[in-house]
Amino acid sequence: MQQALKLAEQAAEEDEVPVGAVVVSDGRLVGRGYNQREQGKDATLHAEMSAIRQACATLGGWRIPRATLYVTLEPCPMCAGALVNARIERLVYAAPDPKAGAAGTVMNIVEHPVLNHRLQVESGLLAEESAALLRAFFARKREKQKKAAAPKQEETDSSIAEE
């Protein structure tokens, strides 16, 4: 999870939502990724999706047996579905996602009884560090938006004062 957290920090440095993920299979790191949706202008460039793609390339197939995916934020429905499709054995996520979590918080795709594969799920590993990184990122975003809006408000205020 430490490596996933470092990738999340890299995402934040690149002004991406700070989420990082790594895939470990048979004790070896086979995939890694972090959010790159803004840079890539691609809705599928979530940390988990990038880590899964790299793991598939490393292992030479679409199934990722005996693997654990470590991610700093609970996967969304798209990523949860990809984990099921890749036949990943275990998911370990740090912080829950109360808006889009699909590993038990909002819905539970990864353990859904109708699907042909289910994952073991663990949560909470480095949860506070991951949540703090996300909170700080969004606080900076809100502050930037306030500052960007402030000059426009000042212009409007001064033009009204001149009338």
User: In which element (H, E) is residue 5 found?
Assistant: helix 2-13
- Torsion angle in degrees (nearest 10) through CA of 116, 120, 125, 129: 10
- Output the DSSP codes for 98-151: TTT-TBTTS-BSTT-TTSS---EEEE-TTHHHHHHHHHHHHHHHHHHHHHHHHH
48 is catalytic: yes
Q: What amino acid is encoded at 110 in this protein?
A: V
Task: Single out the catalytic residue among 48, 128, 155, 163.
Answer: 48
Core vs surface per residue 24-46: b (16+ CB within 10 A) or e? bbeeeebbbbbbbbeeeeeeebb
Running DSSP on this structure, what letter comes out for residue 45?
-
Structure tokens at 114: 């109708």
Catalytic residues: 48
